[in-house]
Structure 1
Amino acid sequence: MSNSVLSHVCDEAVFKKVFDTHFQTVRNFIYIKCKDEAQADDLTQDAFVKLWNNCKKVTRDKAVSYLFTITKNAFFNAFEHQKVVLKYKSIKKDKANIEDPEFLMREKEFQAQLNDAINQLSDKQREVFLLNRIEKKKYREIAELLDISVKSVETRMQRALEQLRASIKNYKI
């Protein structure tokens, strides 16, 4: 066989070696993201099926990165789909609750507490939080705007979220 044919993963022995060597690593990688064993197994198996179906397009030296990319993208697609489903359910629930006076009162109280909690953040934390969550700016954009590193933005955002969670955790809805 020619060298170019052997460089692809279509050969069963090559594919089996890639599978045996990397299945658990890819599975563990995606499990860390999704925290669901069944989903991690499914996503990993799907990635290997896609690898096999595209074996002529994927060289042996790119197989592992292909698997990680396919698995990660499939997880993010599933995650985005779940967000849409939850948002739709939330909209339906909100429409049902919109005329409930008690719900409206609790929502108003919660909004007031959230505003208080945001106001209790340090100026730097509040600035990063509002730029990210209200103005929808990415960390990189915030870093450029404030002339700080992306790591500083991440740290400020993390501390802001921790403080907000602690403040709001005590709120009874």
Structure 2
Amino acid sequence: MQAEDQSGVCAPSVFDATFLRVAPLLRNFLFYRTGDAESAADLVQEAFVRLWENCSKVLPDKARAWLFKVGENLFLQQVAKARVAGRYALEMVRTDEAQGESPEALLEEKEFAERLDAAIAALPEGSREVFLLNRIDGLKYREIADLLGISQKAVEKRMHRALVELRELHPGV
């Protein structure tokens, strides 16, 4: 058992046992969050892929908590992406319905939305997550810190990095 503890959950027997024990629980949790069995199954699969990629860093007795945290983060990313896409789609419909809009103005708005999406997607994962939760979902730094299990100061630093990167690397966005 000592050798397995040192290698994390990389040993096939430990990984398999973790999967058999945790996957149904994680699937139920994510089904509750998503309301969709297929989406929950996809998130569980992605969480276990990430566990395998980080297996040497995760101790067997911490794997369940690690998987639930990863699953929750994957769910939040999925929600944030859907909200961003939904808001842009709504804005595009409103723009299309607006009278007196020139085709050039419509094209400029569409190009801006595409540049903004690309700039946000290029942010590091932690900064992007904090940025979307704050600017799109409207959560306060304290709420984000509680949700992600990090300090409020870490949230502030991630947000600062995201804003600096967006301003410096993507001017005009």
Q: TM-score range with shorter-chain normalisation?
A: 0.5 to 0.7
Residue 4 of structure 2 is matched in structure 1 by 6
* Uncovered stretches (5+) of structure 1, i.e. residues with no partner: 101-135, 142-173
Residue 168 of structure 1 is matched in structure 2 by none
**Deviation at residue 137 of structure 1 after TM alignment:** 7.5
**Deviation at residue 98 of structure 1 after TM alignment:** 2.6
Aligned length: 104
| Structure-to-structure mapping, 1:8-157, within 5 angstroms | 8-99=8-99, 138=140
Larger radius of gyration: 1
Which string of whole-angstrom CA distances, capped at 9 and with x for unpartnered residues, describes residues 71-108 of structure 1? 110110011001111111011001122339xxxxxxxx
Tell me, in whole angstroms, the C-alpha distance in 1 between the residues paired with 2:4 and 2:96.
61
Which string of whole-angstrom CA distances, capped at 9 and with x for unpartnered residues, describes residues 136-169 of structure 1? 675x79xxxxxxxxxxxxxxxxxxxxxxxxxxxx
Tell me, in whole angstroms, the C-alpha distance in 2 between the residues paired with 1:29 and 1:15.
20
**Deviation at residue 49 of structure 1 after TM alignment:** 1.1
Tell me, in whole angstroms, the C-alpha distance in 2 between the residues paired with 1:30 and 1:41.
8
| Structure 1 moving runs of 4+ over 6 Å | none
**Deviation at residue 57 of structure 1 after TM alignment:** 0.5
> What is the letter of the counterpart of residue 64 of structure 2?
V
Query: Could you say what the CA RMSD is over the residues aligned between the two structures, in angstroms?
Result: 2.3
> What is the letter of the counterpart of residue 11 of structure 1?
A
> What is the letter of the counterpart of residue 4 of structure 2?
L
Normalising by structure 1, we get a TM-score of: 0.55
> What is the letter of the counterpart of residue 80 of structure 1?
A
**Deviation at residue 29 of structure 1 after TM alignment:** 0.4
Tell me, in whole angstroms, the C-alpha distance in 2 between the residues paired with 1:66 and 1:27.
14
Identity across matched positions, percent: 33
Normalising by structure 2, we get a TM-score of: 0.55
SS for the counterpart of 2:57 is coil
| CA separation of 1:95 and 1:52: change in aligned 2, threshold 3 A | same
> What is the letter of the counterpart of residue 85 of structure 2?
V
Residue 120 of structure 2 is matched in structure 1 by none
